[in-house]
Amino acid sequence: MTGKTSPRSAEHYTWGQKCDGWHLVNTDALSVIEERMPPGTFETKHRHQRSRQFFYVLEGTLAMTIDGADILIMAGEGLEIAPGVEHQAKNTSAADVRFLVVSQPPSHGDRIVST
């Protein structure tokens, strides 16, 4: 697809504990998702076999655990995660966090949940 997109026009889905995602780009080669995580929410710790991801915070602070180390990503900052690296996004703040997740190739179906 070519053209403008926004959360108002993109495919919406919910995940985890009342979190939102809007698929801004969804092709076989690239995925760009805007996500919103309310305070106190988190995703399951996992890794991807093939997908390289880039998280870019638009608003708020995103807490990421990468291979056991905690990192805070502030608005205007990003973090790249290579394939095979265990990670978990969390919102430990008192406000919503909004961020972009860029995955190449798309990460859906490429997730291995950590035990």
pTM for this entry: 0.93
Largest pairwise CA distance in the chain: 41
Residue-wise over 63-94: b if at least 16 C-beta within 10 A, else e? bbeeeeeeeebeeeeebebeeeeebbbbbeee
CA trace torsion 113, 111, 45, 104 (10° rounding): 160
CA gap 19, 41 in Å, rounded: 8
pLDDT in tens, the chain (115 residues): 568 999 999 999 999 889 999 999 999 999 999 999 999 999 999 999 999 999 999 999 999 999 889 999 999 999 999 999 999 999 999 999 999 999 999 988 889 998 7
Fold of 11-113: Jelly Rolls (2.60.120)
